[in-house]
C-alpha cells in the first residue's frame, strides 16, 4: 500500500495513528486511577485526554481514507479496510463514554465506562497488529521486510509449508 500523504518520503497515517492510541491508553489510565479512588480531577483529565484522542483519531481516519483510495483490490485492501474499521470501532466506543460523561458535573468515569474503555483498547490492540501487517505488506512493493533470522548475514532460513489436502 503506497501512501499518498507523505512527509519526507514517510507515510503520514501510520504516524498519526499512534497519537490517538497513546492518548486513549492515557485516558484509560487516568480513569482507572479515578475509579480506584484517586483525586477527582483525574477523571476530568481522563475525559479531556479521551476528547483529544478523538480529535487525533479523526485526523488519522481522514489520512487513512485518503490512503485507502489508492489501495489495489486484494490482500492489502482487505487489511487496510479492516484496520480502519477496527480503529473506528475503538474510537466509537470512546466517543460513547465521552458523550455519557459530557453531562456529568465532574466528568469522572464509572466502573462500566472504564470497562468499556478497556474493551476499546483491546479492540485497538487488534488494530495495532493490523497496522503492523499493513506496513510489512507495503514495504518494497508488498514484500515483507525481513525481521528475523534472515537479517543476519550468512544465515539461511527455510520455510516449511504444509501440503494442501
pLDDT given for residue 33 in this prediction: 94
pTM of the model: 0.73
CB atoms within 10 A of CB 43: 24
- The tens digit of pLDDT for each residue in 112-149 reads 899 999 999 999 888 888 877 777 766 645 444 444 44
Q: How far apart are CA 56 and CA 58, in angstroms?
A: 5
* Residue 3 pLDDT greater than 60, yes or no: no
Local structure of 3: helix, strand or coil = coil
- Name the burial class of residue 17, with classes exposed (0-12), middle (13-18) and buried (19+) by CB atoms within 10 angstroms of its CB: buried
Q: 30, 46 in Cβ contact below 8 A?
A: yes
- The tens digit of pLDDT for each residue in 22-53 reads 999 999 999 999 999 989 899 999 999 999 99
Which sequence spans correspond to the domains of the chain? 6-151
DSSP β-bridge partners for residue 130: none
Please list, in sequence order, all residues whose beta carbon lies within 8 angstroms of the beta carbon of residue 49, skipping any fewer than 6 positions away: 23, 26, 27, 30
pLDDT given for residue 145 in this prediction: 44
Amino acid at each position: 500500500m503506497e501512501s499518498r500523504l507523505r512527509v519526507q518520503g514517510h507515510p503520514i497515517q501510520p504516524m498519526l495513528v499512534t497519537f490517538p492510541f497513546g492518548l486513549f491508553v492515557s485516558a484509560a489510565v487516568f480513569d482507572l486511577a479515578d475509579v480506584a479512588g484517586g483525586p477527582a480531577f483525574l477523571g476530568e483529565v481522563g475525559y479531556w485526554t479521551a476528547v483529544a484522542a478523538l480529535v487525533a483519531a479523526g485526523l488519522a481516519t481522514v489520512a487513512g481514507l485518503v490512503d485507502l483510495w489508492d489501495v489495489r483490490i486484494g490482500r492489502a485492501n482487505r487489511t487496510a479496510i479492516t484496520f480502519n474499521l477496527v480503529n473506528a470501532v475503538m474510537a466509537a466506543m470512546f466517543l460513547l463514554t465521552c458523550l455519557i460523561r459530557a453531562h456529568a458535573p465532574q466528568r469522572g468515569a464509572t466502573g462500566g465506562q472504564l470497562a468499556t474503555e478497556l474493551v476499546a483498547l483491546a479492540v485497538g490492540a487488534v488494530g495495532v497488529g493490523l497496522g503492523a501487517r499493513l506496513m510489512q505488506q507495503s514495504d518494497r512493493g508488498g514484500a515483507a521486510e525481513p525481521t528475523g533470522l534472515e537479517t543476519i548475514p550468512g544465515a539461511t532460513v527455510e520455510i516449511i509449508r504444509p501440503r494442501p489436502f
